[in-house]
Chains A and B, each alone.
Chain A
């Protein structure tokens, strides 16, 4: 197994107030790592420090190490970094425009103009996100007319079109019905052979269903990380036990 992302003593401050500290964890290549924890436990901040979206917000200071392929994310060219580490947001955010334009957005940023190559990428990405069959006849209609679940799969396809190695999902199913959620989880299982996933979720059961390992964050700290089965059946920390069994959070 290859270490894909490594955090050592990662600490993030917002206006001098720590929101993440003492984070030591490793994400292996081709695994699905779930991050669970109550609101304001720093899960999203962790994702946003990996792809450096945090830098766009004022008042953030990051210290410690955060490595992608053994190189600190700070040293990566930020655009290249974000192409390697894709992100799916909590609410599906299709850009105004057609389904095709949405999926082709990333490839076009890279300078791919040829319609034939773009069409190929769009089809491949939509198939990978299990959306192709539903939208193949209306690629050039507005993405905003899709249902919530379809929109989120569109966002997944849009991220995959950039050919990332790591895909971070920030509560991707929080606004979706159970069937849409199941479709996205199915997509995750199929895709895991080729990608590394970090799945932040509020839904403890979802973490149990789809992930290989689970990390539990609480108040900006990593309480415990381990194989998902162990976290859910024999957690080492009392707080983890309380959270996964629904006594807190």
Chain B
């Protein structure tokens, strides 16, 4: 190798390492800053008691519960639709105008700003379908928002399965639906779960779409027809209204922890699933 080439290689290596380092630096700075400000706020009382005086005092228990309700509801609703659409696109249809329209629709949906989903959910679920501000309306709105992610990741996962696996199943007398259930979906599961977990994270973190649809009451919800305030919305209101920056950071810190936990859990799950298949 010439001296010049060696120098260029070194420079490129250094440049790439620097970029990686800067990216990590920003990430750790954000997490570190929020942890430093938020971690001291986290006490059992903060986690498990009701807010007092609009959240200036007391805990954030209702927002934790509402967040879990809404995010889980969104996933439970969006997953069957998303995976079903992906199966239809990959297994039950040939490339045609229809599949292209569905795919275009999903991509367009993925690009719609979440506040538009919020407004749409407000008009459709809250007003038209008379659900009022509720966990149900919020969850359904989020389900629409994450649907394209689930569709496209599931589709990719299903497409990645070798065609020969399907042929083996057919050659042994398997019907199409048996093949989908026994070969395609189990093997695509890790990929499908990636999309689902990604969507769960986005649902937990979403503010704009839920503030219009689930409301922002701090009461503890009894059913999914009750309104509620998610952690992200709580954080937004605490910070914007200047109610308590300290508690806003506490909420933000908890939000980050929840999302990290979801990611860690999903990696673990994925690891176990792929190991089972190998």
B174–A89 CB distance below 8 A: no
Which B167-197 residues sit within 8 Å CB-CB of chain A?
167-175, 178, 182-183, 186-187
Q: Is A236 an interface residue (CB 8 A)?
A: no
Given contacts A105-B182, A109-B178, contact A159 B278 (CB under 8 A): no
Report whether A79 and B174 are in contact in the complex, using a CB–CB cutoff of 8 Å.
yes
What's the interface size class on A, roughly? 20 to 34
Task: Find out whether the CB atom of B171 lies under 8 angstroms from the CB atom of A86.
Answer: yes
Interface presence of A234 (CB below 8 A): no
* Contact residues in A for B277 (Cβ distance below 8 Å): 96-97, 142
- How many residues on chain B are close to A (CB under 8 Å)? 20
- Nearest CB of chain B from residue A165's CB, rounded to whole Å: 13
Is B48 engaged at the interface, CB distance under 8 Å to the other chain? no
Our count of residue pairs bridging A and B at CB distance below 8 angstroms stands at: 65
Interface string of A150-163 (1 = CB under 8 A from B): 00000100110010
Which residues of A101-144 have CB atoms within 8 Å of chain B's CB atoms?
105-106, 108-110, 142, 144
Stretch touching chain B among A13-21, A35-43, A51-59, A67-75 = A51-59
A46 to chain B, nearest CB (A): 15
Do the beta carbons of A96 and B164 come within 8 Å of each other? no
Q: How far is the CB of A68 from chain B (nearest CB, A)?
A: 14
Please state if B165 and A51 are interface contacts (CB–CB under 8 Å).
Answer: no
- Please state if A95 and B165 are interface contacts (CB–CB under 8 Å): yes
CB-contact partner of B172 in A58, A80, A158, under 8 A: A158
Is A87 located at the chain interface by the 8 A CB criterion?
Answer: yes
B162 to chain A, nearest CB (A): 8
29 interchain pairs, CB-CB under 8 A: A51-B171, A53-B167, A53-B170, A53-B171, A56-B170, A58-B94, A79-B173, A79-B174, A82-B170, A82-B173, A83-B172, A87-B171, A89-B171, A91-B164, A93-B162, A93-B164, A93-B165, A95-B168, A95-B169, A96-B278, A97-B277, A109-B169, A109-B172, A109-B174, A109-B175, A142-B277, A158-B168, A158-B172, A159-B171
